[in-house]
Chains A and B, each alone.
Chain A
Amino acid sequence: MSNTASGFVESDAYIRDLMNAAAVAKTGNPLASASLPLDRRGFLKLAGAGLVLGFYLPGGVRADAETPQAAGAASQSPAINAFVRIAPDNTVTVYSKAPEIGQGIKTALGLIIAEEMDADWNRTVVEQAPIDAKVYGYQGAGGSTTIPRAWDQLRQAGAAARAMLIAAAAQQWGVNPAEITARDSVLTHAASRRSATYGSLASAAARLPLPDPGTLKLKTRDQYRLLGQRHRGVDDPKLVRGAPLFGIDVRLPGMVYASYAKCPAAGGKVKSANLDEIKAMPGVVDAFVVEGNGRPTELMSGVAIIASNTWAAFEARDRLNVVWDESEAARESSSELAARARQIAAGKFPANAEVNVGDVDRAFANAARIIEAYYEYPFVAHANMEPQNTTAWWHDGIMELWAPTQQPNRGQALAAGVLGLPEDKVVVHQTRVGNGFGRRLLNDYMCEAAAIARRVKGPVKLQWSREDDFTHDFLRPAGYHQFKGAVDKQGRLDAWQEHFISFTADGKNPSAGANYSYHLACACKAPNLRRGQSLMNLKAPTGPWRAPACNAQVFAQQCFMHELSLAAGRDHVEFLIDAVNRDVPELAPRSREMNFSPARAVGVIKLCAEKAGWGKSLPKGRGLGLAWCYSHAGHAAQAVELSVDANKQITIHRVVVAVDVGQVVELSGAESQALGACVDALSMAFGQQINIENGRIREENFDIYPILRISSAPAVIEVYFAPSDFSPTGMGEPVFPAMPPAVANAIFAATGERVRAMPFSRSGYRV
Chain B
Amino acid sequence: MITLQINNQSYTVDAPGDMPLLWVLRDLIGLTGTKYGCGVGRCGACTVHLDGKAEHSCKVSVGSVGKRAITTIEAIGNTPNGARIQKAWIETKVAQCGYCQAGQIMTATALLNHTPKPSDADIDAAMSGTLCRCGTYVRLRQAIKNAAKA
Q: Is the CB of B138 within 8 A of A703?
A: no
Decide: A710 near B43, CB < 8 A? Known: A310-B36, A311-B23, A672-B139: no
Q: Is the CB of B99 within 8 A of A434?
A: yes
Q: How far is the CA of A103 from the CA of B97 in the complex (A)?
A: 7
Q: Let me know if B45 is at the binding interface, CB within 8 A.
A: yes
Cβ proximity bits B8-21 to A, threshold 8 Å, 1 near / 0 not: 00000000100110
Q: Is the CB of A232 within 8 A of B135?
A: no
Q: Is the CB of B23 within 8 A of A309?
A: yes
Q: Is the CB of A710 within 8 A of B123?
A: yes
Report which of A102, A436, A466, A711 forms a contact with B37, defined as CB distance below 8 A: A466
Q: Let me know if A432 is at the binding interface, CB within 8 A.
A: yes
Report which of A243, A310, A385 forms a contact with B23, defined as CB distance below 8 A: A310
Q: Let me know if B81 is at the binding interface, CB within 8 A.
A: no
Whole-angstrom distance between the Cβ of B57 and the nearest chain A Cβ: 12
Report which of B20, B34, B42 forms a contact with A311, defined as CB distance below 8 A: B20
Q: Is the CB of A240 within 8 A of B86?
A: yes
Q: Is the CB of B42 within 8 A of A683?
A: no
Q: Nearest A residue to B41 by beta-carbon distance? A: A703
Whole-angstrom distance between the Cβ of B113 and the nearest chain A Cβ: 17
Chain A residues, Cβ within 8 Å of B91: 232
Q: Let me know if A605 is at the binding interface, CB within 8 A.
A: no
Q: How far is the CA of A675 from the CA of B27 in the complex (A)?
A: 35
Q: Is the CB of A672 within 8 A of B136?
A: yes
Decide: A708 near B135, CB < 8 A? Known: A309-B23, A434-B99: yes
Q: Let me know if B68 is at the binding interface, CB within 8 A.
A: no
Q: Nearest B residue to A465 by beta-carbon distance? A: B39
Q: How far is the CA of A203 from the CA of B96 in the complex (A)?
A: 37
Whole-angstrom distance between the Cβ of B97 and the nearest chain A Cβ: 3
Q: Is the CB of B99 within 8 A of A435?
A: yes
Q: Let me know if B74 is at the binding interface, CB within 8 A.
A: yes
Decide: A241 near B43, CB < 8 A? Known: A232-B91, A246-B99, A435-B97: no
Taking CB atoms and an 8 Å cut-off, the chain B residues in 84-129 that contact chain A are: 86, 89-91, 93, 95-102, 105, 120, 123-125, 127-128
Q: Let me know if A92 is at the binding interface, CB within 8 A.
A: no
Q: Is the CB of B73 within 8 A of A242?
A: yes
Decide: A309 near B96, CB < 8 A? Known: A435-B133, A702-B43: no
Q: What is the total of A-B residue contacts with beta carbons within 8 Å? A: 178
Q: How far is the CA of A73 from the CA of B32 in the complex (A)?
A: 47
Taking CB atoms and an 8 Å cut-off, the chain A residues in 287-309 that contact chain B are: 309
Q: Is the CB of A702 within 8 A of B27?
A: no
Q: Let me know if A678 is at the binding interface, CB within 8 A.
A: yes
Q: Is the CB of B140 within 8 A of A102?
A: no
Whole-angstrom distance between the Cβ of A238 and the nearest chain B Cβ: 9
Q: Let me know if B66 is at the binding interface, CB within 8 A.
A: no
Decide: A233 near B32, CB < 8 A? Known: A239-B98, A675-B139, A707-B131: no
Q: Is the CB of A713 within 8 A of B99?
A: no
Q: Is the CB of B32 within 8 A of A669?
A: no
Q: How far is the CA of A242 from the CA of B27 in the complex (A)?
A: 15
Chain A residues, Cβ within 8 Å of B89: 236, 240
Q: Let me know if B2 is at the binding interface, CB within 8 A.
A: no
Q: How far is the CA of A236 from the CA of B27 in the complex (A)?
A: 24
Q: Nearest A residue to B130 by beta-carbon distance? A: A710
Chain B residues, Cβ within 8 Å of A235: 98
Taking CB atoms and an 8 Å cut-off, the chain A residues in 444-491 that contact chain B are: 463, 465-466
Whole-angstrom distance between the Cβ of B123 and the nearest chain A Cβ: 7
Q: Nearest A residue to B140 by beta-carbon distance? A: A710
Taking CB atoms and an 8 Å cut-off, the chain B residues in 42-58 that contact chain A are: 42-43, 45
Chain A residues, Cβ within 8 Å of B134: 102, 385, 435, 676, 680
Chain A residues, Cβ within 8 Å of B39: 314, 465-466, 701
Q: How far is the CA of A715 from the CA of B120 in the complex (A)?
A: 9
Cβ proximity bits A385-425 to B, threshold 8 Å, 1 near / 0 not: 11100000000000000000000000000000000000000
Q: How far is the CA of A490 from the CA of B120 in the complex (A)?
A: 49
Q: Let me know if A168 is at the binding interface, CB within 8 A.
A: no
Q: Let me know if A248 is at the binding interface, CB within 8 A.
A: yes
Q: Let me know if A709 is at the binding interface, CB within 8 A.
A: yes
Q: Let me know if A585 is at the binding interface, CB within 8 A.
A: no
Q: Let me know if A523 is at the binding interface, CB within 8 A.
A: no
Whole-angstrom distance between the Cβ of A464 and the nearest chain B Cβ: 10
Whole-angstrom distance between the Cβ of A310 and the nearest chain B Cβ: 6
Q: Let me know if A10 is at the binding interface, CB within 8 A.
A: no
Residue from B16, B27, B97, B134 having most chain A Cβ neighbours under 10 A: B97
Q: Let me know if A621 is at the binding interface, CB within 8 A.
A: no
Whole-angstrom distance between the Cβ of B44 and the nearest chain A Cβ: 10
Report which of B31, B99, B127, B137 forms a contact with A386, defined as CB distance below 8 A: B99
Q: Is the CB of A385 within 8 A of B45?
A: yes
Q: How far is the CA of A28 from the CA of B93 in the complex (A)?
A: 41
Q: Let me know if A282 is at the binding interface, CB within 8 A.
A: yes
Q: Is the CB of B32 within 8 A of A244?
A: yes
Cβ proximity bits A665-678 to B, threshold 8 Å, 1 near / 0 not: 00011001101111
Q: Is the CB of B136 within 8 A of A676?
A: yes
Q: Is the CB of B128 within 8 A of A702?
A: no
Chain A residues, Cβ within 8 Å of B99: 246, 385-386, 434-435
Q: Let me know if A717 is at the binding interface, CB within 8 A.
A: yes
Q: Is the CB of A434 within 8 A of B138?
A: no
Q: Is the CB of A240 within 8 A of B90?
A: yes
Q: Let me know if A245 is at the binding interface, CB within 8 A.
A: yes
Chain B residues, Cβ within 8 Å of A246: 35, 99
Decide: A309 near B138, CB < 8 A? Known: A702-B38, A715-B120: no
Q: Let me know if B33 is at the binding interface, CB within 8 A.
A: yes
Whole-angstrom distance between the Cβ of A714 and the nearest chain B Cβ: 7
| Chain B residues with a Cβ under 8 A of chain A | 16, 19-20, 23, 26-28, 30-40, 42-43, 45, 72-74, 77, 86, 89-91, 93, 95-102, 105, 120, 123-125, 127-128, 130-141
18 A-B Cβ contacts within 8 A?
A: A236-B90, A236-B98, A241-B74, A244-B32, A309-B27, A311-B20, A385-B97, A385-B132, A463-B36, A466-B37, A466-B40, A672-B96, A675-B138, A676-B136, A702-B37, A709-B128, A711-B125, A714-B138
- The 5 A-B residue pairs with the shortest CB-CB distance in the complex, in nearest-first order: A242-B33, A679-B135, A102-B97, A434-B99, A242-B73
In addition to A463-B36, A680-B134, 13 A-B residue pairs with Cβ atoms within 8 Å of each other are A104-B96, A240-B73, A241-B86, A242-B32, A242-B74, A246-B35, A248-B32, A309-B28, A669-B93, A701-B38, A708-B137, A710-B130, A711-B125
